[in-house]
Amino acid sequence: MTNPLDQPLENDISAELEERKAGVGKTTMVLGVAVLAIVAFVGGVFVQKSFGASETPARQNAAGRQFGGTPPSGQNRPNGRGTVGTIDHVDGTTVYVKTQNGEVVKVSTADTTKVEISSEGELTDLKAGQQVVVQGQAGSDGTVTGQTITQRP
């Protein structure tokens, strides 16, 4: 006597499934490539938003101090914390520094402003024509509040 469970059923799809084991269809491949392209594009957009710069990046010297970069709109001076140029003149506690593009930047100083000339110095040690690096914060009128003025050799 034969077991009824060993006999194939009329609606058995096993034979049909064995015929379809040929591999991945063209539609699946096209959809997979499209999804990868979209993911790559969206990922690129997020990376650009996070790390991209719309302005010229500021340069930094070896000590990590910032110089240059794209000036803020309407201003013709470097943004960031530094000004590099030649001393035009010193008037009391104010130092006027001429930048490479010929602009004179007014630098206000205080008792806490360090003046370094190969060793620490005083404002009276600064002379017209000397190369200096000024570190400080620029105000809205363009005047830099000097924190450190270093004479360059």
99-130 residue pLDDT tens: 888 889 999 998 898 887 766 788 888 888 88
**What local confidence, expressed as pLDDT, does residue 20 receive?**
60
- Taking the C-alpha atoms of residue 68 and residue 125, their distance in angstroms, rounded to an integer, is 26
Whether residue 45 is found in the same domain as residue 67: no
Q: Which of 16, 149, 152, 43 has its CA nearest to residue 93?
A: 149
For the chain, give the mean pLDDT: 74
Look at strands 104-108 and 114-117 and give their pairing.
unpaired
Whether residue 74 is found in the same domain as residue 113: yes
Which uninterrupted H or E stretch holds 47? Answer: helix 26-51
Count of structural domains within the chain = 2
In a domain, 7, yes or no: no
DSSP per-residue letters across 71-83:
PPTT--S--SSEE
Whether residue 86 is found in the same domain as residue 142: yes
Q: Domain range spanning residue 21?
A: 12-51
Whether residue 67 is found in the same domain as residue 45: no
In a domain, 3, yes or no: no
Selected residue with higher pLDDT from 35 and 120: 35
62-84 per-position pLDDT tens digit: 444 444 444 443 344 444 567 88
Whether residue 43 is found in the same domain as residue 70: no
CATH of the domain at 67: 2.40.50.140
Quote the distance between the C-alpha of residue 140 and its chain's center.
Answer: 23
